[in-house]
């Protein structure tokens, strides 16, 4: 098909199967614009019918063009359909598209998903959003198949990872099975607890015997195995030997987990040996962990013992909570009211220009929860101000054990409008 506006005239319908759901995708074609076309009336009519028949509407806008008058019409038609609407902003691989998106966000659809159809970016988020918003139908995946949570158990040699995995597998009410992982030598272990499915990734790596030396080589190997497991996990359990506290290697592993946007729990293992220090012991220990792993301040610390089994069920409970928090969404209207309140209470502090205002906020994704703030001027907000925003968001919405991401973009001044004006004057 030629990449010229208005050439996709026909309504194209395509059956697809996503995650065991059978769907019909309908592309409404050039429903808007191309009004010189003698077939336009038919196209518009077919488009209307497609909207009327749909269970869900995905409005696609061009992020590089920014907001154009046609978008208003499409938005109105989508809204008038009374169906759930997802706004997909395309071409977001292009840097110019980032700032132009504000007006599109302001159309007020929820969710807004940024994609690049050409580069395949964000497409997974879009399909997830579609499946989530679709009305339940008889064709859906059976109820009992709750989504599984993938867990990486990582830490230095001797911290107690294999003891912990074995303990979890011994717990009552757990059904365990081994399944091949993605790489040739990796094995995952599935366990069911309270009707929830956990996949412990790369258990072959954990249970591999002999990796007890403190030589540089073995440490590098364990960081490497940890990275591989982290890549595939939703939640990372960083196992520390509580008698030794965190080391640089733990910091490296934790850093990889934060960068990958995984939920994180700090499991202070061998707590049976720490009891002698009494109540104060845990306070002192936690303070030391917070000091040494500052960037993990959002991660809960659990004092456990793989030997005595103390608090193992608590660990699974925490994993479940973190996995949920990592997928949490804040509705756009609520988020904007909240942002307005907290930026009014403490106006933004920027590294450059003064009088920075936050014009609009939106959540752009989950896993981890990611937010974008549009500001009136090109600037970066001061590091301490970003901390303030993050802390307030956490106080309000929790995000227990999950990293969150906040990015700041400038609203594109005039650009969107200039283009829009040019487009209006240019018949296509
Ligand atoms: P991994 O290398 O991280 O898999 O560590 P292991 O599970 O092999 O444990 C290393 C050593 O610590 C073994 O001798 C375990 O018996 C011991 N260990 C593990 N967990 C605990 C615990 O909670 N308390 C005590 N006292 N010892 C533990």
Domain ranges of the chain: 12-133, 148-326, 332-410
CA of 163 relative to ligand 1 center, distance in Å: 6
Choose which residue among 153, 158, 165, 200 to substitute to test ligand 1 binding: the one with the highest number of ligand atoms within 8 A of its C-beta.
158
Going along 314-390, which residue ranges are E strands? Answer: 358-365, 370-375
CB within 8 Å of 324: residues ≥ 6 apart:
none
pLDDT digit string (tens) for the chain, length 428 residues: 334 444 444 567 888 887 778 888 888 766 665 556 666 676 677 778 888 888 999 999 998 888 888 888 888 888 888 899 999 999 988 887 777 788 898 888 988 999 998 888 888 889 888 988 887 653 444 444 457 899 999 998 889 998 998 888 876 445 555 665 555 556 788 888 887 889 998 776 665 544 444 555 555 677 788 888 999 999 999 999 999 999 888 999 999 999 999 999 999 999 999 988 888 889 999 999 999 999 999 999 999 999 999 888 899 999 999 999 999 999 999 999 999 999 999 988 777 666 888 889 999 889 999 999 988 876 778 888 899 999 999 999 999 999 999 998 887 654 444 444 344 333 33
Please name which of 24, 21, 15, 25 lies closest in space to residue 141, comparing C-alpha atoms: 21
Q: CA-based Rg of the chain, rounded to a whole angstrom?
A: 25
Task: Report the CATH number of the 148-326 domain.
Answer: 3.40.50.300
What would be the CATH architecture of the domain defined by 12-133? Answer: 3-Layer(aba) Sandwich (3.40)
CA of 307 relative to ligand 1 center, distance in Å: 7
* Ligand 1, atom 15: closest residue by C-alpha: 160
Global confidence as pTM: 0.77
CA of 146 relative to ligand 1 center, distance in Å: 32
Q: By CB neighbour count within 10 A (0-12 exposed, 13-18 middle, 19+ buried), where does 362 fall?
A: buried
* Cβ atoms of residues 410 and 375 within 8 Å: yes
Does 12-133 match 148-326 in CATH topology? yes
Compute the half-sphere exposure of residue 408: CA atoms within 13 Å on the CB side of its CA.
21
Ligand 1 contacts (CB < 6 A) are 155, 157-163, 206, 269-270, 272-273, 305-307
CA of 195 relative to ligand 1 center, distance in Å: 28
Return the CATH fold of 332-410: GMP Synthetase; Chain A, domain 3 (3.30.300)
* Ligand 1, atom 14: closest residue by C-alpha: 158
* Ligand 1, atom 9: closest residue by C-alpha: 160
CA of 236 relative to ligand 1 center, distance in Å: 19
């Amino acid at each position: 098909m030629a990449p010229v506006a208005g050439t996709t005239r026909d309504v194209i319908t395509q059956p697809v199967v996503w995650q065991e759901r059978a769907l019909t995708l309908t592309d409404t074609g050039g429903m808007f614009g191309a009004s010189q076309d003698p077939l336009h009336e038919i196209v518009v009519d077919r488009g209307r019918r497609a909207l009327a028949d749909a269970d869900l509407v995905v409005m696609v806008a061009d992020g590089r063009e920014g907001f154009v008058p046609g978008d208003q019409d499409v938005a109105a038609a989508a809204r008038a359909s009374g169906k759930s609407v997802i706004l997909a902003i395309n071409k977001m691989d292009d840097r110019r598209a980032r700032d132009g998106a504000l007006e599109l966000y302001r159309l007020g659809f929820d969710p807004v998903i940024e994609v690049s159809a050409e580069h395949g970016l964000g497409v997974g988020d879009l399909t997830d959003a579609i499946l989530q918003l679709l009305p339940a139908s008889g064709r859906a995946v059976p109820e009992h198949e709750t989504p599984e949570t993938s867990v990486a158990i990582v830490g230095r040699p001797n911290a107690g990872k294999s003891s912990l995995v074995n303990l979890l597998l011994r717990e009552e009410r757990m059904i365990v099975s081994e399944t091949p992982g993605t790489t040739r030598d990796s094995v995952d272990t599935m366990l069911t607890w309270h009707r929830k499915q956990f996949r412990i990734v790369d258990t072959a790596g954990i249970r591999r015997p002999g990796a007890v030396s403190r030589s540089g080589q073995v440490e590098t190997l364990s960081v490497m195995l940890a990275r591989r497991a982290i890549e595939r996990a939703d939640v990372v359990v960083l196992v520390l030997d509580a008698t030794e506290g965190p080391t640089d290697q733990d910091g490296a592993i934790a850093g990889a987990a934060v960068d990958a946007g995984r939920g994180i729990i700090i499991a202070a293992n061998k707590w049976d040996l720490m009891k002698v220090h009494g109540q104060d012991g845990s306070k002192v220990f936690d303070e030391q962990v917070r000091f040494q792993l500052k960037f993990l301040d959002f991660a809960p610390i659990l004092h456990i013992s793989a030997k005595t089994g103390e608090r193992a069920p608590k660990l699974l409970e925490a994993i479940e909570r973190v996995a949920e928090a990592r997928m949490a969404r804040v509705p756009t209207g609520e988020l904007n009211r909240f942002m307005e309140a907290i930026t009014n209470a403490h106006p933004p502090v920027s590294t450059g220009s003064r009088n920075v205002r936050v014009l609009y906020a939106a959540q752009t994704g989950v896993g981890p929860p990611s937010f974008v703030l549009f500001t009136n001027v090109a600037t970066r907000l001061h590091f301490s101000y970003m901390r303030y925003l993050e802390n307030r968001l956490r106080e309000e919405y929790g995000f227990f054990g999950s990293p969150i991401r906040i990015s700041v973009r400038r609203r594109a001044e005039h650009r969107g409008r200039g283009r829009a004006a040019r487009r209006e004057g240019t018949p296509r």
